[in-house]
Amino acid sequence: MSTTAIFVIALIGGGILVAAGIFAVAWRRGPSAEPIVGEFDKEAAKRDMSARPAPEPAVTTAEAVAPETMPAEPVPPSIEDQREPVSADDLGVTRRKFLNRAALGLFGGGFLGSLGIAMLAFLWPKLKGGFGSKINAGPIAALRSQVILGDGSIKPLFFPEAQAWLVPMEASLMPGSSFDGLPVLAGADGGETGLMALWQKCVHLGCRVPECASSQGFECPCHGSKYNYHGEYDSGPAPRNLDRFALEEDAQGNLIIDTGTVLETPRAVVKTIAYPQGPSCL
Ligand code: FES
């Protein structure tokens, strides 16, 4: 498991644990069986009133008028009269709602945050140009000379950044093959031997598949699946050929391995290369 995957799993697990803890605390502090009673504090209201400055007596010409001729002014309601007692039900619902909303907000925020981090981690390789993106493996001519030795023998080249084995492939062998029509061959224009990039990961349960020079193929040490040098299935529990990456050749003649495009093919019926060509490594 990659470091990124472990990091993402740890973040998600931590977020879930935090959210679960908050939810548990909120649940325990939920509405009690006892009714909540709220009372209007009249003493406090009186203290409020007494603390207020007394209104200035208005000096108007009305003082010269006899009181019996003045119209009676309406008396404004006191603050005490304007206040309404809060019912016990209102108090209980407000507290419960607050706790529920707080727990829901924190839980939802934690979940969405974890989801965002996981998505960022998933997209990160494509953003930074590592495995999962298009990788420039260098000039095809130079790579070709490393996989086809001077005596004509084949030597698969492992390219770690793409987790891929580079193997030679003739364009004339493509028709009728299990990967005919797929963009798995590059550098074969003009009759030259092209290249294919086989993913190192075994299609059975994901072990790394090493090359076996003696048998001229790839042999999985985990459960014994075997493939020829073109990654075609030969034997073992593997359900298909080795997966391969889509390839391109850029304007400078470089091999571009698109590790974000994995091409699966069924077990080859017609093999494009003989296997085994010597003793097995298993
Ligand atoms: S993982 Fe390769 S054969 Fe099982």
- Total tally of structural domains belonging to the chain: 2
Beta-strand pair 211-212/194-199: unpaired
Q: Does a structural domain hold residue 195?
A: yes
Q: Is 208 in the pocket of ligand 1 (CB under 6 A)?
A: no
Domain check: are 121 and 139 in the same one? no
Q: Which of 83-87, 108-112, 121-125, 175-179 has the highest mean pLDDT?
A: 175-179
Q: 223 CA distance to ligand 1 centroid (A)?
A: 5
For residue range 161-200, list pLDDT tens digits in order: 999 999 999 999 999 999 999 999 999 988 899 999 999 9
> Is the domain of 20 the same as that of 80?
yes
Q: Domain check: are 168 and 183 in the same one?
A: yes
Give kind and range of the element (H or E) at residue 8. Answer: helix 3-28
pTM above 0.85, yes or no: no
User: What single-letter DSSP state applies at residue 158?
Assistant: E
Bridge partners for 165 per DSSP? 158, 198
Average pLDDT over residues 22-39: 58
Predicted confidence (pLDDT) per residue in 151-161, tens digit: 999 999 999 99
Q: Is residue 279 part of a domain?
A: no
Q: Residue 228's domain spans which residues?
A: 134-263
Q: Which two tokens stand for residue 45?
A: 């209201």
Ligand 1 site-directed mutation target among 204, 219, 234, 243, most atoms within 8 Å of CB: 204
| Eight-class DSSP state of 137 | E
Asked if residue 281 is part of any domain, the answer here is no
Domain boundary among 128, 151, 172: 128
Q: Is 201 in the pocket of ligand 1 (CB under 6 A)?
A: no
3-state secondary structure 75-125: CCCCHHHHCCCCCHHHHHHHHHHHHHHHHHHHHHHHHHHHHHHHHHHHHHH
What spacing in Å lies between the alpha carbon of 237 and ligand 1's midpoint?
A: 7
